Amino acid sequence: MAKAFDDNERKLIKDKLKEGALLFIQQQGVRKTSVDELVKYANISKGAFYLFYTSKELLFFEMFLFQL
């Protein structure tokens, strides 16, 4: 059975996903950035990504919404 993430792990993973998303957006843009690249960067499974976000677009939206 999969291990649940504690609050600290969740924060670290979300931060790493946002860091990777920003990096990949700068390098190749939103459309060419894949969930596979993001999960590899954050060192989590693809299934775990979807525990945090329902889509990569939601991750990008959250990043830019909270920067305003």
CB 14 within 8 A of CB 52: yes
Per-residue model confidence (pLDDT) at position 14? 96
What pLDDT was estimated at residue 8?
96
pTM for the complete prediction?
0.88
pLDDT of residue 1: 52
d(CA 32, CA 34): 6
Which residue carries 């979300």 as its tokens? Answer: 14
- d(Cα 18, Cα 40) in Å, to the nearest integer? 13
Query: From CA 3, how far away is CA 13, in angstroms rounded?
Result: 14
List pLDDT tens digits, range 22-61. Answer: 999 999 999 999 999 999 999 999 999 999 999 999 999 9
Q: Which of 23, 13, 67 is nearest to 45 (CA)?
A: 13
* pLDDT in the model for residue 65: 82
What integer pLDDT is reported at residue 52 of this predicted model? 95
